[in-house]
């Protein structure tokens, strides 16, 4: 049987999966993560489909991403000696303005993706390091890039641009949107399980450490809360979300802060952590009984409600809301606060269903169906990688990516 490895390389972590290619859909046989790459106390956690822990402590530490990948692949080969790896699927944060679907990676297009690193300096270089390490380790396997931005290339121009002189748009200063693999999973899931809703107007809240919202019509993205970078939009664990650019000018000009200091502030010290002064973790804040923790949660919910209303206006109405991501899937409190008093928009939450984390958490009479759907970005990557090896298998029900990014017009 043939297999696909999925890789999602962050700045100090590497998430991975091993999928066997079976007739109807790739099946995960192992998922895991390497944490604290380059630091002390590194560990590999891995769990097989039947719940067996396969991870290992790495007392000698993990020097870099190449080392991490070597250790992960050693673990896979040790635990699954019969695995025949024919493709590696990579999560790549930025595909630029033109990639609206996964691509087969070659040394040439890899270099072109390197040139997008200034757009996502905290993610793209690590993603591409993972690709290079996998190419070296599996020279005969197909290496497939799955872009977080691709799902949003269907945005109309008004949702793709800033009101800057147009030469900035031409140089790539655009609203790219992110979390595209998660949104693609939800869109595909709706097509399979709720085709009527899929065909309508849906807002998906991917609420995790990173958080964003996406408005879809007929399964395609028409608007997203994230913009040029993954700090825009909703507040997140440590990222500030929407911010008046005048604040940045003030910090530079009047407070003498450097680019590095402002980057650290906006990406690492803001959001839930900055507001609460306690933690970036929603579960910790819900359990903490402090005024600042409550304020942080209130701000998170307030911004999510605002974005929900804004995206509903963009969609011209609403048929369904889907919550996903660690907070969206697990926090009944956040879902309740976001949906409370939204009857005017057709949302009526079923309190008990919400508390029970049911799949449908709106009342039967609610005009808008509210759902909780666990996301699965790894499966989206595995499907995409598998399609390059076996083009006739795993054709998604959908072709989300049919948009022509060049075709945008004012």
| By the rule CB under 6 A, 224 interacts with ligand ADP | no
**244-283 binders of ligand ADP (CB under 6 A):** 281-283
Nearer to ligand ADP, 208 or 274 (CB): 208
**Residue 53 per-residue DSSP state:** B
Mark whether 148 is an active-site residue.
Answer: yes
| Shortest Cβ 195–ligand ADP spacing (Å) | 27
How distant is the alpha carbon of residue 338 from its chain centre?
A: 20
| By the rule CB under 6 A, 8 interacts with ligand ADP | no
E-assigned strand segments in 285-379: 320-324, 369-372
| Shortest Cβ 267–ligand ADP spacing (Å) | 13
Please provide the DSSP assignment of 347-401 as one string.
B-B-HHHHHTT-SB-B-TT-SBEEEE----HHHHHHHHHHHHHSTTS---S--TT
Nearer to ligand ADP, 229 or 331 (CB): 331
Instruction: Return the ∠ at Cα 235 (arms to 234 and 236), rounded to 5°.
Output: 110
| Shortest Cβ 40–ligand ADP spacing (Å) | 21
| By the rule CB under 6 A, 336 interacts with ligand ADP | no
d(CA 305, CA 328): 13
Q: 118 phi and psi, to 5 degrees? A: -60, -25
Q: Which of 223, 233, 241, 325 binds ligand ADP (CB under 6 A)?
A: 325
Q: Which residue is associated with the tokens 């891995």? A: 46
Nearer to ligand ADP, 283 or 367 (CB): 283
| By the rule CB under 6 A, 241 interacts with ligand ADP | no
d(CA 366, CA 328): 19
How distant is the alpha carbon of residue 348 from its chain centre?
A: 27
Span of 71-79, 87-95, 116-124, 207-215 interacting with ligand ADP by CB under 6 A: 207-215
Nearer to ligand ADP, 86 or 331 (CB): 331
Q: Which of 276, 330, 362, 369 binds ligand ADP (CB under 6 A)?
A: 330
Do the Cβ atoms of 270 and 260 come closer than 8 Å? Answer: no
* Nearest-CB residue for ligand ADP: 326
**Residue 95 per-residue DSSP state:** -
CA dihedral sign of residues 124, 31, 384, 187: negative
Q: Which helix (H) or strand (E) holds 28?
A: strand 26-35
| Shortest Cβ 84–ligand ADP spacing (Å) | 30
Taking the chain, what is the end-to-end CA distance rounded to the nearest angstrom? 50
Nearer to ligand ADP, 215 or 325 (CB): 325
| Shortest Cβ 385–ligand ADP spacing (Å) | 20
Neighbours of 322 (CB within 10 A): 25
Total interface residues for ligand ADP by CB under 6 A? 13
Nearer to ligand ADP, 331 or 366 (CB): 331
| By the rule CB under 6 A, 154 interacts with ligand ADP | no
- Sequence length of the chain is 410
| By the rule CB under 6 A, 338 interacts with ligand ADP | no
How distant is the alpha carbon of residue 66 from its chain centre?
A: 23
| Shortest Cβ 323–ligand ADP spacing (Å) | 11
For 199, counting Cβ atoms within 10 Å of its Cβ (0-12 exposed, 13-18 middle, 19+ buried), the class is middle
Pick the catalytic residue from 35, 67, 100, 148: 148
Q: Which of 43, 209, 295, 396 binds ligand ADP (CB under 6 A)?
A: 209
Give, in order, the Cα–Cα distances in Å from 253 to each of 200, 241, 247, 262. Answer: 47, 21, 10, 12
Span of 190-198, 217-225, 323-331, 395-403 interacting with ligand ADP by CB under 6 A: 323-331
Q: For residue 333, what are its two tokens?
A: 């409190």
| Shortest Cβ 166–ligand ADP spacing (Å) | 34
| Shortest Cβ 39–ligand ADP spacing (Å) | 17
Q: Which of 124, 221, 331, 403 binds ligand ADP (CB under 6 A)?
A: 331
Q: Which residues are catalytic?
A: 148
Give contact residues for ligand ADP (rule: CB under 6 A).
Answer: 208-210, 237, 281-283, 286, 325-327, 330-331
């Amino acid at each position: 049987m043939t297999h696909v490895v999925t890789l999602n390389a962050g700045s100090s972590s590497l998430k991975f999966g091993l999928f066997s290619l079976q007739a109807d859909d790739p099946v995960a046989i192992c998922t895991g993560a390497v944490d604290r790459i380059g630091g002390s106390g590194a560990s590999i956690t891995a769990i097989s489909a039947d719940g067996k822990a396969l991870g290992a402590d790495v007392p000698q530490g993990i020097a870099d991403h190449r080392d991490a990948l070597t250790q992960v692949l050693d673990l896979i080969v040790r635990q699954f000696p019969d695995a025949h790896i024919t493709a590696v699927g990579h999560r790549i944060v930025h595909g630029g303005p033109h990639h609206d679907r996964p691509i087969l990676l070659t040394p040439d297009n890899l270099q072109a993706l390197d040139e997008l690193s200034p757009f996502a300096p905290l993610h793209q270089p690590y993603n591409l390091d993972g690709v290079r390490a996998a190419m070296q380790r599996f020279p005969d396997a197909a290496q497939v890039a799955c872009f977080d931005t691709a799902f949003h290339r269907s945005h109309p121009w008004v949702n793709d641009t800033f009101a800057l002189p147009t030469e900035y748009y031409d140089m790539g200063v655009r609203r790219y949107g992110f979390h595209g693999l998660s949104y693609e999973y939800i869109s595909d899931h709706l097509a399979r399980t709720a085709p009527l809703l899929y065909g309508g107007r849906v807002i998906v809240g991917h609420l995790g450490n990173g958080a964003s919202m996406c408005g879809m019509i007929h399964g395609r993205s028409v608007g997203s809360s994230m913009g040029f970078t993954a700090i825009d939009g909703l507040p997140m664990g440590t990222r500030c979300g929407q911010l008046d650019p005048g604040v940045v000018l003030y910090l530079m000009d009047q407070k003498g802060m450097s680019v590095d200091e402002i980057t650290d502030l906006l990406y690492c010290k803001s959001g839930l952590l900055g507001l609460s002064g306690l933690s970036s973790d929603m579960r910790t804040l819900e359990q903490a009984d402090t005024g600042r923790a409550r304020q942080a949660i209130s701000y998170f919910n307030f911004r999510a409600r605002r974005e929900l209303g804004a995206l509903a206006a963009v969609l011209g109405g609403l048929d369904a809301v889907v919550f996903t991501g660690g907070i969206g899937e697990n926090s009944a409190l956040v879902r309740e606060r976001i949906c409370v008093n939204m009857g005017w928009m057709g949302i009526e939450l079923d309190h008990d269903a919400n508390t029970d984390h049911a799949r449908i958490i709106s009342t039967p009479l609610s005009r808008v169906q509210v759902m909780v759907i666990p996301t699965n970005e790894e499966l989206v990557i595995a499907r995409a990688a598998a399609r390059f090896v076996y083009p006739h298998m795993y054709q998604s029900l959908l072709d989300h990516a049919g948009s022509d990014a060049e075709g945008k017009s004012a």
